[in-house]
Structure 1
Amino acid sequence: MTINSFRNHATKILHPLALILEKRRITANNLSILSLIFATLSIPMYYYSTNDHTYLFMAALFVFLNSFTDALDGTLARITKTEGPSGDFLDHIIDRYSDVFILCAIFFTGYASLKIGLIAVTGVLLTSYLGTQAQAVNAGRHYGGILGRADRLVIIILATIATALYSEKIFYYSILGWSMILIATTSHITAIQRIHHIWQALKKESEDITKLPKPYK
Structure 2
Amino acid sequence: MTLDKLRPVAEKGLTPFVTAADKVGLTPNSVSVISLGVAVAAAAAFVVADPLFYVVGGVLVFANGWLDLIDGALARRQDVASDAGDLLDHVIDRYADLTIIGGLAAGVESFALGFLAVTGVLMTSYLGTQIQAVGLGRAYGGLVGRADRLVLMGLAGFVAAGYSAPLVAGFGVIELLLVFFAVIGHITAFQRFWGAWGDL
The aligned runs of 1:167-182 (5 Å cut-off) are 167-171=164-168, 172-182=170-180
Q: Output the amino acid matched with 1:146.
A: L
Q: Is the 8 A contact 2:121 2:185 kept in 1?
A: yes
In structure 2, the partner of 1:3 is: 3
> In the TM superposition, what whole-angstrom CA distance separates every residue of 1:108-144 from its partner, at most 9, and x where no partner exists?
2226x32221111011111111111112111211111
In structure 2, the partner of 1:15 is: 15
Structure 1: any 5+ residue segments left out of the alignment? 203-217
In structure 1, the partner of 2:27 is: 27
Aligned: 1:115 with 2:112: yes
The aligned runs of 1:117-196 (5 Å cut-off) are 117-171=114-168, 172-196=170-194
In structure 1, the partner of 2:80 is: 82
> In the TM superposition, what whole-angstrom CA distance separates every residue of 1:169-203 from its partner, at most 9, and x where no partner exists?
1131111221111111111111001101111111x
CA distance in 2, matches of 1:7, 1:99: 18
In structure 1, the partner of 2:95 is: 97
How far 1:102 moved relative to its partner?
0.4
CA distance in 1, matches of 2:78, 2:98: 30
CA distance in 2, matches of 1:14, 1:101: 25
Q: What RMSD over aligned residues (CA atoms) do the two structures have, in Å?
A: 1.4
How far 1:103 moved relative to its partner?
0.5
CA distance in 2, matches of 1:86, 1:69: 18
How far 1:79 moved relative to its partner?
1.5
Q: Which has the higher contact order (CA 8 A, sep 6+)?
A: 2
Structure 2: any 5+ residue segments left out of the alignment? none
Please identify runs of 4+ aligned residues in structure 1 that moved more than 2 A: 4-9
CA distance in 1, matches of 2:177, 2:149: 9
Q: Output the amino acid matched with 2:18.
A: A
Q: How many residues are paired up?
A: 199
Q: Secondary structure at the match of 1:13?
A: coil
When structure 1 is superposed on structure 2, of 169-178 and 146-155 the one drifting more is 169-178
TM-score where L is the length of structure 1: 0.87
Q: Is the 8 A contact 2:4 2:140 kept in 1?
A: no
Distance 1:10 1:48, change over 3 A: same
In structure 2, the partner of 1:205 is: none
CA distance in 2, matches of 1:104, 1:34: 19
How far 1:6 moved relative to its partner?
2.6
When structure 1 is superposed on structure 2, of 85-94 and 5-14 the one drifting more is 5-14
Q: Percent identity?
A: 40
Q: 1:67 aligns with which of 65, 68, 72?
A: 65
Q: Is the 8 A contact 2:127 2:189 kept in 1?
A: yes
